Every structure is written in structure tokens, then in C-alpha cells.
Amino acid sequence: MAKPTPDREIEADAALALAPRESKDWRWSLGLGIVILAVIGLIPLTGDQSALGMWTFIVMYCVLAQGWNFIGGFAGHAAFGNVAFFGIGAYTVSLVLERNMPYLLGLVLAPIIAGLFAFLLGLPVLRLRGHYFAIATLGIAEALGQVIQSKNVGGTAGEISLNPPGLNFELTNSLFFYGFLVLSLLTLLGTTWLTRSRFGYALVAIRENEQAAEALGIATYWYKVGAFVLSALPTAVAGGLFAYWQLSFDPVGEGGAFDVSISVAMVLMTFLGGAGTILGPILGAIIIEYLDQYTSISFTAIHGPLLGVLIILVTIFLPQGLIRLVQELIRAPAGVKQSYPMRVRQGVRRVTRFILSNGI
Amino acid sequence: MAQDIVNWILLGCFYAAIGLGFSLVWGLMNILNLAQGSLVILGAYVAYWSYTVLHLNPFVGILVAMGVLFCIGYAIQYVMINRVIRAPFLVTFMLTFGLDLLISNVLQDVFTAGYKAINTPYSSAGFEVLGARIPLLNLAVGAIAVALTAALSLFLSRTRIGNAILAVGMDRDAARLMGISVANSYALTFGIGAALAGAAGAMLAMTLQFSPIFSGQFTLFAFVIVALGGLGTPWGALAGGLLFAFAEVFGPLVPGVGFGLDTAIAFVVLVLVLILRPYGVLGKPFYS
């Protein structure tokens, strides 16, 4: 019996819905990420050394936020001690350089040692949940800095002072800038791979509902340890680059290699951009670190409080991040043709409703 | 040795005061209040100000600090935290961290990072028992801390408002159906937590030196104290305070450890307790 046309159309629709249809979003995110990094990569060409220094910090924070994204964004575990990996990277490179061994050896050793540390630390710490995990990681980072300071690792009170590389000043700065940029690009590729891999899906499942993930046969504990190690790797390399770029730094306190505010910055940046997304950490890092550097030069008095206000506003109004906001803006209702201004207006309305929908 | 024991008990009671408000807010609202340290320091400044400017007795200053901090805490919860109370805990975690940054930086801008303390004519008064010197002010502070713990416990179990606060902590939606204003109740909880932090700050100003740069350290201490003692009851904070002070006073006496490692010691103790007794020494499933 011949079916009427409308039914066949519905059938075709149903078949389409059933067939696994992959989201193409990741191509946009990856492409946009590469474009952003490429544009930033043009900065040394301007020859402005102070701008170069500022953007080196920004790209460094991109890497740190991207690293945090693995454990915090994908696996949904609020690690507040990722600065420990940064510090371990910085001190590994410093100790290698102080023994007159090649820098590259340090850069290779840094992620290995930090990854091993993350593995051994993750075994007990990842059995804790929620607040306990957050504070345990925070405390271990603090304690590590304190041990290095009081046991005089690498120098008196842990103060590092290295000999500069024997190259001219401009070239050195550009080299470290591109080092961070390449690291950020690699992490971007890694993140993109993660969003489409079995490993990444398992982490997202853990974030959404750990018990359900466990029930589905995912070895949640080991996946979490894996994510923790993964987040340590780029962070440690960034620490290694930071050490030789800065040449002298303290273990603790502001600007130190184990400064807890670095940990917090990673979390805040990823949050502002969008946790668990490809582009989120990069966007968040650029916005926050730019603001931070700008106010620390031009408006010193409000620099400290400003970061606090920023955190408060972001967490109240944008807890899901900017990327989520963009998605909300461009999300078009299926099958309805609308004029362009109409879509913009509706998108803006959706975004406002989304921002104001928090509260009890 | 007698002196160490005296130091341990007095410090432990003071630590209990720092943990008390933190324990209340964490236990009832599942909020880790990272601004606790800043609120303690803010309380210390209020007490310092009421002593140097208003020339009030330092013990009256404790009440002033509690009053001021209660209002600030109430407003913080009502205006800000209530907006994100249903979000995942990381959001409130970040929010209170932002508050901490804001308060401690403003304090640093206004008062500078210099050390301050309340110096009274009787600051150095004390007496000796069995060769151990007991400073009078520290003894009073310890007694007040224990009294505050008892008062909080009685307030929660015996008064109508206290019962309402507990009810909201147990089941927000059921409490609302019973006619309790959830927003107001949360704000009261945070306000009381802040008032207790203010009291701890005022006592800090009376016995030790303080500066805005200490705020992070006190938040960390509060967490360790509460996690050690357990979330179940206000008495958990007292147990945790004593335990933490024990590690801090007697830890450096262990050969090979030495001074300058207090944070590291605190966390080693914390991790050990979390492994052996995940809910703390006096932990119970619910706050009461």
C-alpha cells in the first residue's frame, strides 16, 4: 500500500534523527582558535617589547587555563592546586640549568616529573570529592611551595636566579613568546582531539554523573587520574618556559612559581570562557589577563579589588561562560525561517533571559 | 612541657572560634566560605577601630565586631550568594573567593599591609600555674570561644529561628512549604557565620598581631579545623581547633621537622584524618 507523501517525509526525518549525526562545531572552534593564535603570533613583528612581554604572559595563561580545562572543565573536578605542576616545571628546569645541563633536557624532564607527581598525587586525592578535593589540591600546592622555601631548594629560601641565555634580548623574548604560542597550539589540538575521543566522552560522563558513568562500565577513577596527569603536562612545560624566561623568581608569594593566585586565575579564565569547551580557556585567558595587565599598569589602586569584582560578576551572571552565551545567541529554532534582524532580536532576548535566570 | 600544654589549649580554643562560623555555613548551605579569613581580619579592624577611635573596652569591641559583621554577612548572602545557591559548588566557591580578594585588597588599600594589634594596660597580665604562664587575655578569649560554641549549639536546637535555619539546611523546598522564608534564612545563616568570624577577628586583635595579608592563611586554617573536627555539630569546630593546635604546637618538636612548615603540617594532618575518618572526628551526617 502506497503511503502518502507527508508520512514518507516524517520517516526520512526519523531516519536522519536516528543516524549518528556528528556536530560540526569542533571545526569552527578549532579554526577560530588557530586564527586567534595566528593573529597573536604577529605581535613580535611590531617590535614593541612591552607589548610583547604582556602578550607572552597572556599566552602563558592560555596554556595554563587550557591545562586546567582537562581536569576542571572536562572531568568537572575543581582542582585548585594546578600551580603545583607549574612550580614543579619551573624548579625542574632551574635545577637542570643550575647544574649546567642543556635547557631542552629540563623542558623534557619537566612534564615527565610533573606527570609522575600528578599520578602519585591523584591516586589518594582523586578519591576525595567536591570541597575536599578542591582544598586538598590547594593545600598541597601551598605546602609544596613552603617545603621548597624552607628546605632551600635551588637557592636560599628557594629563590632562583639563573644566568640568561647568551642571545640578544629581542630574539630571546620572541623565542619564549613563540614557545608559549606553540605550546598553546598543541594544547588546542589536544583539546580538540579530546572532545572527539572515547577518553573525552568518558570524562564528560564523569562530570555529568559519576555514578551513572561508573554503572556504564567506565573506570571513572583511572579516567580521572588520566585527566589529572594530562592537565599537568602543558602546565609543567609552561612552568619550564616561565623559569628560563623570567630568570629569577621566588617559590611563594606574588609572582612566585607556587603562587596560589595562578591556580585561581586558571579556574576563573576557564570559567569565564566556558569550561569544557575548546575555545573557552583561550578566550577567558585573553580577556582576564589583558584586563589584569592593563589595570596593573594604568590603575594600580583598583587592580587588586578589580579582580575580585570581576570574579563575583562572572560567577553570578556568567557561570556557564561566554561560549555558552554565544551558543544561546546563535541557536536558531529548527525549521522556522526568520529574517536576520528578527533572529538577532530573539537571540538577544534569549541571552538576557539566560543571564538573569539565576537565583533561588 | 606544661607551657606547651597551656599554649595548645588556649590556641585550640581560639582556632575553634575561627572555625565555628565556617562550619555553620558549610554544614547548612554547602558553601565553602573562602572569604572567612577576610571576614576575620575585617572583624579585627572593626574591633581595633572601636578601641582606638571610640575608646571602647576590647570586650565590648567583640560585640561591635559581631554586629557589624552580621550586617555585612547578611547583605552578602542576600544580594549575591542567594543568586547562585542552586549552582554547582564550584560557582559558590569562586564567588566567595572573589569576595575574599575584594575584601582583603580593599583592606590593604585602606589600612596598608602593616601589622596592628590592640594593646591594653592589662595585655601582659597573667599568672603562673605549675611553672606555666597563663596570659589573662588569652584565657578570656579561650573561655569566650567555648561560650560561643555552646551558645551556637543552644541557639540552633532551642530557638525558633535556629530550628528554621536547621530546617532549611535539611530540605530547602520542604522548609519553604512550611512557610519559612528560604532567602531570609540563608541570609541569617551567613550573617551569623560572619558575626562569629567577626568575634574571632576581635579576639585575634586582642591577643596577636593582624594584617590583611593573613586572610588566606586563616581561611585555610578554618577549612582544616572544620574538616578535622567534622561538620556535624558546632562542637566539631572545637575538637578540630584543639587537634589542629596540637599539630601546630607539638609538630615542630618532632626531630627533623623544625619551624616554618605550619601549612605543610596542617595538610599532612588533614590528609591523614580524611583517610582514616572521612567525616572528621565528631562528624555526623547532618548539622544539629
B150 interfacial to chain A (CB closer than 8 Å): no
Q: How far apart are CA B210 and CA B204, in angstroms?
A: 7
pLDDT band at A5; cut points 50, 70, 90: very low
Q: How far apart are CA A77 and CA A57, in angstroms?
A: 25
pLDDT tens figures, A98-140: 888 888 899 999 999 999 999 999 988 888 877 778 878 888 8
Q: Chain B closest CA to A92's CA: distance in Å?
A: 21
Q: What pLDDT is stored for residue A10 in this prediction? A: 47
What is the pTM assigned to this prediction?
0.81
Q: A185-194, A341-350, B37-46, B99-108: which has the minimum mean pLDDT?
A: A341-350
B113 interfacial to chain A (CB closer than 8 Å): no
pLDDT band at B187; cut points 50, 70, 90: very high
Percent of all residues in chain B with a pLDDT value above 90, rounded to a whole number: 19
Q: What pLDDT is stored for residue A19 in this prediction? A: 43
Handedness of CA B223, B229, B231, B233 (dihedral sign): negative
Q: What pLDDT is stored for residue A64 in this prediction? A: 95
Q: Which of A78, A312, A314 sits opposite B80 (nearest CB)?
A: A312
Segment A315-322 mean pLDDT: 80
Interchain pair A315, B260: CB under 8 A: no
pLDDT tens figures, B136-186: 888 888 899 999 999 999 998 899 988 888 888 888 888 888 888 888 999
Chain A contact probe: residue of B29, B94, B248 with most A CBs at under 10 A: B94
Residue of B nearest to A260 (CA): B216
Q: What pLDDT is stored for residue A360 in this prediction? A: 52
pLDDT band at B191; cut points 50, 70, 90: very high
Cβ-based contacts of B84 with chain A (< 8 Å): 315-316, 319, 358-359
Strands B132-135 and B126-129 come out as antiparallel
Q: How many domains does chain B have?
A: 1
**Strand, helix or coil for residue B232:** coil
Cβ-based contacts of A146 with chain B (< 8 Å): 260-261, 263-264
Interchain pair A319, B84: CB under 8 A: yes
Number of alpha carbons in the 13 Å side-chain half-sphere of residue A171? 5
B260 interfacial to chain A (CB closer than 8 Å): yes
Phi and psi angles of residue A173, each rounded to the nearest 5 degrees, phi first? -60, -45
Q: Is B206 part of a structural domain of the chain?
A: yes
Cell readout for B154 is 543552644
Q: What pLDDT is stored for residue B280 in this prediction? A: 63
Q: How far apart are CA A211 and CA A226, in angstroms?
A: 18
B139 interfacial to chain A (CB closer than 8 Å): no
Q: A107-121, B4-18, B88-102: which has the minimum mean pLDDT?
A: B88-102
Q: Which of B91, B105, B109 sits opposite A315 (nearest CB)?
A: B91
Q: Chain B closest CA to A299's CA: distance in Å?
A: 13
With contact defined as beta carbons under 8 Å apart, do A236 and A92 qualify?
yes
pLDDT band at A12; cut points 50, 70, 90: very low
Q: What pLDDT is stored for residue B285 in this prediction? A: 54
Interchain pair A131, B32: CB under 8 A: yes
pLDDT over 70 (residue A1): no
Q: How far apart are CA A306 and CA B91, in angstroms?
A: 18
Cell readout for B167 is 530546617
pLDDT tens figures, A276-304: 889 999 999 999 898 888 888 777 777 77
The beta strands (E) that lie in A132-231 are given as: 160-161
- When the pLDDT of each residue in chain B is averaged and rounded to a whole number, the result is 84
Q: Which of A146, A149, A308 sits opposite B98 (nearest CB)?
A: A308
Residue of B nearest to A131 (CA): B32
Q: Is B269 part of a structural domain of the chain?
A: no
Between residues A331 and B278, the one the model is more confident about = A331
Q: What pLDDT is stored for residue A118 in this prediction? A: 95
Q: How far apart are CA A65 and CA A268, in angstroms?
A: 8
Q: Which of B99, B105, B263 sits opposite A142 (nearest CB)?
A: B263
B99 interfacial to chain A (CB closer than 8 Å): yes
Cell readout for B20 is 565555628
Q: What pLDDT is stored for residue A352 in this prediction? A: 79
Q: Which helix (H) or strand (E) holds B21?
A: helix B2-29
Q: How far apart are CA B29 and CA A11, in angstroms?
A: 50
pLDDT over 60 (residue B188): yes
Q: Is B273 part of a structural domain of the chain?
A: no
Q: Is B262 part of a structural domain of the chain?
A: no
CB neighbourhood size of B196 (10 A):
34
Q: What pLDDT is stored for residue B168 in this prediction? A: 87
Q: Is B221 part of a structural domain of the chain?
A: no
Q: What pLDDT is stored for residue A15 in this prediction? A: 45
Interchain pair A264, B97: CB under 8 A: yes
Cβ-based contacts of B182 with chain A (< 8 Å): 360
Interchain pair B261, A311: CB under 8 A: no
Q: Which of A139, A267, A359 sits opposite B267 (nearest CB)?
A: A139
Q: How far apart are CA A184 and CA A36, in angstroms?
A: 11
pLDDT over 60 (residue A9): no
Q: What pLDDT is stored for residue B201 in this prediction? A: 92
Between residues A152 and A121, the one the model is more confident about = A121
Q: What pLDDT is stored for residue A203 in this prediction? A: 92
Cβ-based contacts of B186 with chain A (< 8 Å): 360
Q: Which of B80, B82, B261 sits opposite A150 (nearest CB)?
A: B261
Segment A186-209 mean pLDDT: 92
B90 interfacial to chain A (CB closer than 8 Å): yes
Q: Chain A closest CA to B288's CA: distance in Å?
A: 21
Q: Which of A135, A267, A315 sits opposite B223 (nearest CB)?
A: A135
For A147, B20, B230, B243, the CA distances from B265, given in Å and listed in that order, are 10, 21, 19, 12
Cβ-based contacts of A72 with chain B (< 8 Å): 90
Residue B88, domain extent: 2-214
Cell readout for A69 is 580545562
**Strand, helix or coil for residue B105:** helix
- When the pLDDT of each residue in chain A is averaged and rounded to a whole number, the result is 83
Q: Is B174 part of a structural domain of the chain?
A: yes
Q: Amino acid identity, residue A39?
A: V
The beta strands (E) that lie in A96-243 are given as: 160-161
Q: Which of B102, B261, B266 sits opposite A312 (nearest CB)?
A: B102
Residue of A nearest to B93 (CA): A131
Out of A17-21, A332-336, A339-343, B68-72, the most confident range is: B68-72
pLDDT over 80 (residue B253): no
What is the biggest distance separating any 2 CA atoms in chain B, rounded to whole angstroms?
Answer: 60
Q: How far apart are CA B162 and CA B28, in angstroms?
A: 11
What is the biggest distance separating any 2 CA atoms in chain A, rounded to whole angstroms?
Answer: 90
pLDDT band at A96; cut points 50, 70, 90: very high
pLDDT tens figures, B213-252: 788 788 888 888 888 887 768 888 898 899 888 888 887 7
